A = this chain, B = another copy of it.
């Protein structure tokens, strides 16, 4: 039996947009170190969102992303100047949309689509626009409204509040197991997108379905 799904809510960074599309620029700026910088930058960016949330010391994703970039460059012994910082931060405004994301978003049936993201509004607006998606979503929801990051349940609550749809009728889509687990604990119907064949984390909640690509969604949530 198909679940009754009235809205599909997507994680942005890593699920729709490829955060590692910054590594080409990182490689130009720091030859031989692009992928390492991209990996450490992303890992620290997530770590800082969790730590600042737990400390009760929220700063928006723009600030956290810049802090993580500075840490990553220091640790990798890459000299980072102001111009390079600006270029790398600007790369977040035009991250590549995953090919399966573009195809899925274009072919999903008449269901409301939204984004629920750690990103600050100042980051989400351009990345959505530059991907040609500014007419796609009923809502682009930033955690900034509650000043805490995923997977705090107050973040997930933003989606039913903003969309006017019960949590059980919202399907949440993320390529991060921990985000999927947080959403499942909250009460969404949850799809985990496991493009890379990763192991599931052990966090006491499992997604309802595991998909390899976003294009598999339309057959499941189609009316």
Contacts and interface: CB of A to CB of B under 8 A. Distances in A.
Interface of A: 44, 47-48, 50-57, 59, 67-68, 70-71, 74-75, 149-153, 178, 181-182, 185, 198-199, 201-205
A54 B52 CA distance: 11
Nearest to A186: B55
A107 B71 CA distance: 35
A203 B51 contact: yes
Nearest to A203: B51
Contacts of A55: 151-153, 181-182, 185, 203
Contact of A57 (B48, B52, B201, B204): B204
Enumerate the 3 nearest inter-chain pairs by beta-carbon distance, A residue then B residue, closest first. Answer: A67-B202, A50-B50, A74-B199
11 contacts: A48-B201, A48-B203, A50-B51, A51-B182, A55-B203, A56-B152, A56-B185, A57-B205, A67-B202, A67-B203, A70-B202
A185 B149 CA distance: 18
B185 A71 contact: no
**Which among A51, A57, A204 has the highest number of chain B CB atoms within 10 Å?**
A51
